[in-house]
Amino acid sequence: MKNLKNKLTKERLTAIAKITGASYSILEKHLALESPTPFLKSQEQHYSLKESIYLHDDFENLLHVKLLDYGSKFEEDQLERNIGSSDREPLELKISEIDYKHQKVVLEGSIYGDLLHASANDPIAKFLIAGFKPGDYKKLDLYKTLTCEAYLLESRGDTKLSFFTYFTAIESFAALKIQDYKSSIHPELHHALEHLSLDDKIKIAGRESCSTDDLSTIPAWGDVIGEFKKAQKLRNKIAHAHSRVEVSTEQVDSVFYCLAGLIAIMNSKKYDFISIRKHLFP
């Protein structure tokens, strides 16, 4: 249990990708080396750089972007950053902004040289990207899109809204499982089923998904539900409190643990902590 919780905290993105079906890709993009100050012909000087890289042709939705390397190719797998006129001042770039909504990455940095150096070397940037290819994100179930939104909110440091969105993903997941169950019962029972408490919906969904009347036989169930009850209490406090309610990163970790555990148990039939960990982190 402790190993699983630590993994889910330290390697959140890996688990998110497993749950939602997001993919990892290494992508190369050509750089124009755009500068707020126009490059001057035959006049070497220090130029600041700011360039927008658009990824919407390659990805419909982004979860993570990392700049792996940049420069001009001089061997198949190596990039050279000394493309200016001074070896002591190589090309410098870093990500200054990621616009997840518009799939845009802004790079900022500097180079020492002139117009010839800026245009002759055909530099590229190499990115590691986690996200969804065009058309894939729109096909996701609601609980998966909520999980993605919660992760991005968490990445921006909005712990309260991230916690709330992860919890909403649990509600959406339970509703989806109940919707599946409705097809096996009499229509007159549908209304009552839909108006059960979230606790009862999760219990029913768990019993049906795991083909058991006794959820205590599922080794991970008790701990996952114990954390769920804590998360539910905090969620209700946030929703109904008139005073400010603080949410810690540990509480965000806890609600995500509940979400990941319930999905692994019900969707993938992984009933103990070791099998859940191996499933989420293959």
pLDDT tens-digit readout, 182-235: 766 657 556 667 778 999 999 999 999 999 999 999 999 999 999 999 999 999
Query: Domain check: are 52 and 163 in the same one?
Result: no
Query: What are 129-170's pLDDT values in tens digits?
Result: 999 999 999 999 999 999 999 999 999 999 999 999 999 999
Query: Domain check: are 93 and 9 in the same one?
Result: no
Q: What is the domain range of residue 105?
A: 31-137
Query: Domain check: are 130 and 46 in the same one?
Result: yes
Predicted local confidence at residue 184, as pLDDT: 63
Query: Domain check: are 246 and 156 in the same one?
Result: yes
Query: Domain check: are 125 and 176 in the same one?
Result: no
- Pick the last residue of a domain from 114, 137, 160: 137
Query: Domain check: are 78 and 118 in the same one?
Result: yes
Q: Looking at the 3D structure of the chain, how many domains does it have? A: 2
The band of 54, judged by pLDDT with boundaries at 50, 70 and 90, is very high
Q: Whole-model pTM?
A: 0.90
Query: Domain check: are 147 and 272 in the same one?
Result: yes
- Pick the last residue of a domain from 137, 172, 197: 137
Query: Domain check: are 118 and 194 in the same one?
Result: no
Predicted local confidence at residue 132, as pLDDT: 97
Examine the pLDDT at 269 and tell me if it is beyond 90.
yes
Percent of the chain's residues with pLDDT above 90: 70
Query: Domain check: are 167 and 152 in the same one?
Result: yes
- Pick the last residue of a domain from 137, 162, 186: 137
Query: What are 193-202's pLDDT values in tens digits?
Result: 777 899 999 9
In a domain, 70, yes or no: yes
Residue 170 CA to residue 257 CA, distance in Å, equals 11
Predicted local confidence at residue 118, as pLDDT: 62
Predicted local confidence at residue 186, as pLDDT: 55
Query: Domain check: are 88 and 39 in the same one?
Result: yes
Across the chain, mean pLDDT equals 90
Residue 171 CA to residue 162 CA, distance in Å, equals 14
Query: Domain check: are 146 and 10 in the same one?
Result: yes
Q: How far is CA 273 from CA 7, 9, 205, in A?
A: 11, 15, 19
Query: Domain check: are 132 and 247 in the same one?
Result: no
Examine the pLDDT at 36 and tell me if it is beyond 90.
no
In a domain, 116, yes or no: yes
Query: What is the average per-residue pLDDT within 59-82?
Result: 88
